Amino acid sequence: MAELTFTDLSKTFGGTPALDAINAQIASGEFVALLGPSGCGKTTLLRLTAGFEHPSAGEIRIGGETVAGAGRFVSPEDREIGIVFQSYALWPHKSVFDNVAYPLEVRRIPRAARQARVAEALSLTGLGAFADRMPSQLSGGQRQRVALARCLVFEPRAVLLDEPLANLDLALRASMQDVFRMFHRRTGATMLYVTHDQSEALALADRVAVMKAGKIRQFAAPEILYREPADCFVAGFVGDGAVVSARITGRADHAGLMLNVLGQDVVSRSADPEPSHVSIRPESITLADDAPLRARVTSCTYLGGRFRLELDTAGETLVAFSCQRAAIGETVGVRLHDLWAFRDPEGDVVLQKALADA
């Protein structure tokens, strides 16, 4: 298992930047998700890491070894990286066993050792009974397991996964998430997992790199992205809730700021002394009859155990949770607390566009 390091990594296609000066370090054994809307450069970053593309500038290191940049280029075969695509990329004319054995054949591993390692990889991925099947005789989820077993078998330094669940239905996706978790736990592999599905990224990864237009906007643990988003884009793309503008009205005790949000004074947390916006998660809203901020219920959805309400107030749409059903059109009182504030000079315009793109 190896650490991955990207330094000032850029890639342009015909003069258009697909990746713009990416700097990131992924620890050995870490499970990292690349999350962002279509076209933000996720696949390009994976292809550069795998060695299918040359960088336009910058450097990639795997386990301390420079594999691209600084005048060096290590070919894909010599990078010892496993890759899982959404299209599975299995050999259609080879059995499950032979598909999984292929990386070992290429590496000229003797037959007896090959048999043992393939059997182990098949049993780990729950495919023990399918060794003799052809890919056409398998379900989508089973084919994806074969692709994983093929990575497992040669103990790669890192495993790259490009939207591996995109072709599967919802129920299967949830059970395959468990398979990826098991795979990661058993192998301790460094994993770079591309998805445009924020719930998948938050559920699976140790850390998530949120990307937009060829740049990483924030690279942090899921709970940090949710509680402390860096800008309007991250706040809007990750998790539920609203992003609204805010104005400083004073400094509160204990490093808190007093902000005017939707006409209310609210003590907020921030890493910036001059924030311009706040993220309002559903957990930051309490419904109270006597609260001065009034809002109109525009939607009420039962989630099991609680209701998700959309509330219109002062031209903004807030999201709140409630134990009780609310009537559409009803007016409720809203109390805000524990908001996270940040500075985003591009502000509202960018947010609207980002949400439209997403």
User: Which residues are near ligand ADP by CB under 6 A?
Assistant: 13, 18, 36, 38-44
Residues 6+ apart with CB under 8 A from 347: 232, 245, 276, 277
Residue closer to Mg ion by CB (options 43, 218) is: 43
With CB under 5 to 8 Å by kind, the binding choice for 207 among ligand ADP, Mg ion, none is none
195 binds Mg ion (CB under 5 A): no
Strand extents, DSSP E, 64-214: 65-69, 72-73, 81-85, 158-162, 190-195, 207-212
Shortest CB 201 distance to ligand ADP, Å: 13
For residue 142, which of 167, 159, 105, 163 has the smallest C-alpha distance?
Answer: 167
Restricting to residues 242-271, name those near Mg ion by CB under 5 A.
none
Shortest CB 37 distance to ligand ADP, Å: 7
With CB under 5 to 8 Å by kind, the binding choice for 39 among Mg ion, ligand ADP, none is ligand ADP
Residue closer to ligand ADP by CB (options 17, 333) is: 17
For residue 323, which of 344, 335, 308, 345 has the smallest C-alpha distance?
Answer: 308
Q: What is the DSSP string of 188-237?
A: --EEEEEES-HHHHHHH-SEEEEEETTEEEEEE-HHHHHHS-SSHHHHHH
Residue closer to Mg ion by CB (options 147, 351) is: 147
The encoded tokens of residue 109 equal 């591993």
Shortest CB 13 distance to ligand ADP, Å: 3
Strand partners, 265: 260
- For residue 243, give the H/E element and its range: strand 242-245
For residue 198, which of 358, 44, 310, 352 has the smallest C-alpha distance?
Answer: 358
With CB under 5 to 8 Å by kind, the binding choice for 91 among Mg ion, ligand ADP, none is none
Place of tokens 């468990």: 178
Q: 267 phi and psi, to 5 degrees?
A: -75, 130
Interface region with Mg ion, contact rule CB under 5 A, candidates 36-44, 71-79, 205-213, 319-327? 36-44
43 binds Mg ion (CB under 5 A): yes
Shortest CB 106 distance to Mg ion, Å: 26
Residue closer to Mg ion by CB (options 162, 231) is: 162
Residue closer to Mg ion by CB (options 43, 276) is: 43
With CB under 5 to 8 Å by kind, the binding choice for 242 among ligand ADP, Mg ion, none is none
Check if the beta carbon of residue 249 is closer than 8 Å to that of residue 243.
Answer: no
Restricting to residues 141-180, name those near Mg ion by CB under 5 A.
none
With CB under 5 to 8 Å by kind, the binding choice for 18 among Mg ion, ligand ADP, none is ligand ADP
Shortest CB 6 distance to ligand ADP, Å: 14
Residue closer to ligand ADP by CB (options 47, 335) is: 47
The rounded Cα 308 to chain-centroid distance in angstroms is: 24
Q: What is the maximum span of the chain, computed from C-alpha positions, in angstroms? A: 76
For residue 274, which of 257, 296, 289 has the smallest C-alpha distance?
Answer: 257
With CB under 5 to 8 Å by kind, the binding choice for 40 among Mg ion, ligand ADP, none is ligand ADP
With CB under 5 to 8 Å by kind, the binding choice for 13 among ligand ADP, Mg ion, none is ligand ADP
Strand extents, DSSP E, 283-352: 285-287, 293-302, 307-313, 316-322, 331-336, 339-342
With CB under 5 to 8 Å by kind, the binding choice for 50 among Mg ion, ligand ADP, none is none
Shortest CB 92 distance to ligand ADP, Å: 25
Residue nearest to Mg ion (CB): 43
Interface region with Mg ion, contact rule CB under 5 A, candidates 22-30, 35-43, 117-125, 215-223? 35-43
Q: Which residues bind Mg ion (CB under 5 A)?
A: 43
